[in-house]
Amino acid sequence: MSVSDVPLVKEVGRVPSMTVPLDREQELRFQRHMEETIMIDLHEHPMVFPEDLTRFVEYLREGKCQWGFEAVKHGGWTAVATANCLRGFLNTHEVSYISFEGLLEEIGEMLADVGAEKDVIKVTTAAEIESAKQQGKTGFLPTVEHLAIGYELDRLDLLHSLGIRIAGLTYNRRNYIGDGCFERVDGGLSGFGIEVVSRMNSLGMVVDISHASYKTAMDAIEFSEAPVSFSHSAAKALWQAGRTKTDDELIACAEKGGVIGILGVANTLSQEPHQDINVALNHYDYMVNLVGVDHVAIGSDVLVGDHVGFHKVMMGKDVRRGFPADYLDGLESPADGKNIIRGLISRGYSDEDVSKIAGKNALAFFRRVMG
């Protein structure tokens, strides 16, 4: 692994981050879960970010990006989906415009580093994730946040050959497949988009509609023969934002057999000056009540660095919210993953339901879709 010339953040302890308090009995339950439970994050950005985010483009350009293996291990994750797309910021503030070549470079760079790590492995199936747990290794599940294939359907097969098993149909803007959640006009899936969904079904690739517009999401649910996923989302009923989803979208996804990963990003679920993991836990509670515990999972959307600073520097022109909080206390990075388990226990979830949300639901979903 090449070492970046750009100074990078600490992977663990970048800022003070709370630990969800538990009583003695709850603490014992938590310890058992960390030994036995498979923890899967359906959507995470495990790239290590620069200390100075004004140098982020320089960091991408030098081709020496580093990956948060330490942070992911510290967080207790069995497997994390890698949400590749960040090279799109080389030329734009909007990764909806990332090139296919840029996407391939980022995936290849990451997989090369994964291959060089002793205790990290690439995983592409539920069985491989279970094996990683048994071996005490961390699984990286290659994932693309935005399906930057242009109008070339066969590029799906190339992505699949690299290990991509989850792909977002769109990011925030329109592409050849359909409309993103920030588009001015919502036209739903295109004819090409319907072909893409069909090919993804045949390949065993998860159709991720987290950033899709309302009509694109509902079309994907209708046209997909396999269950689909909102891999990193939250409930619009609790927080009105372009990223959050309506009850009918969420219910339709669950009725199709899909899973909904709950995100935890500062200023995405609240506008309070201090925000902590409880704003995310509120969405876990709401989602379980809305669609049932069997359809709820983790999709934190966290990264290794200053997430709020990243939004300000790299996405400020296209982020339709303010930045009152500096970070989400208790879920600041992948290193805080265990706190989700602590939070669910503190909210009164049974051990079985904690295990389902932490990873069992994702495993069952992967078996249905990926084979």
pLDDT tens for residues 88-145? 998 877 888 899 999 999 999 999 999 999 999 999 999 999 999 999 999 999 999 9
Please say whether the beta carbons of 242 and 180 come within 8 A.
no
Average pLDDT over residues 309-323: 75
Q: How far is CA 195 from the centre of its chain?
A: 24
Average pLDDT over residues 73-78: 98
- Tens digit of each residue's pLDDT (9 = 90 or more) over 243-285: 899 999 999 999 999 999 999 999 999 999 999 999 999 999 9
Determine the pLDDT at residue 94.
83
Sign of the alpha-carbon dihedral angle for 59, 61, 62, 63: positive
At 232 the three-state DSSP class reads strand
Angle, CA 282 vertex, CA 354 and CA 301 arms, to 5°: 75
Other CB atoms within 10 A of residue 81 CB: 31
Average pLDDT over residues 191-196: 98
Of residues 275, 276, 270, the one with CA closest to residue 20: 276
User: pTM for this one?
Assistant: 0.97
Determine the pLDDT at residue 220.
98
Q: Give CATH for domain 24-370.
A: 3.20.20.140
Q: How far apart are the first and last CA of the chain?
A: 33
Amino acid at 55: R
Rounded to an integer, what distance in angstroms lies between the CA atom of residue 245 and that of residue 236?
Answer: 5
pLDDT-above-90 percentage for the chain: 93
Inform me whether the pLDDT recorded for 338 exceeds 80: yes
Please say whether the beta carbons of 148 and 107 come within 8 A.
no
Please say whether the beta carbons of 347 and 285 come within 8 A.
yes
Tell me how far CA of residue 2 lies from CA of 6, 24, 112, 113, in angstroms: 12, 45, 11, 9
Determine the pLDDT at residue 321.
62
Quickly tell me which residue has 């923890």 as its tokens. Answer: 39
The pLDDT confidence band at residue 337, using thresholds 50, 70 and 90, is: very high
H or E stretch at 94:
none
Determine the pLDDT at residue 318.
52
Inform me whether the pLDDT recorded for 320 exceeds 80: no
Determine the pLDDT at residue 243.
87
Average pLDDT over residues 1-23: 95
The pLDDT confidence band at residue 316, using thresholds 50, 70 and 90, is: low
Domain ranges (residues) in the chain: 24-370
Tell me which of 83 and 95 has the higher pLDDT. 83
Quote the mean pLDDT of the chain: 96
Please say whether the beta carbons of 119 and 137 come within 8 A.
yes
Of residues 233, 355, 330, 229, the one with CA closest to residue 274: 330
The pLDDT confidence band at residue 314, using thresholds 50, 70 and 90, is: confident
**Pairing relationship of beta strands 143-144 and 166-168 according to DSSP bridges:** parallel
The pLDDT confidence band at residue 319, using thresholds 50, 70 and 90, is: low
Sign of the alpha-carbon dihedral angle for 156, 162, 168, 174: negative
Please say whether the beta carbons of 42 and 166 come within 8 A.
yes
Average pLDDT over residues 75-89: 96
Tell me how far CA of residue 296 lies from CA of 136, 234, 284, 331, in angstroms: 25, 11, 7, 18
pLDDT-above-70 percentage for the chain: 98
Rounded to an integer, what distance in angstroms lies between the CA atom of residue 319 and that of residue 305?
Answer: 18
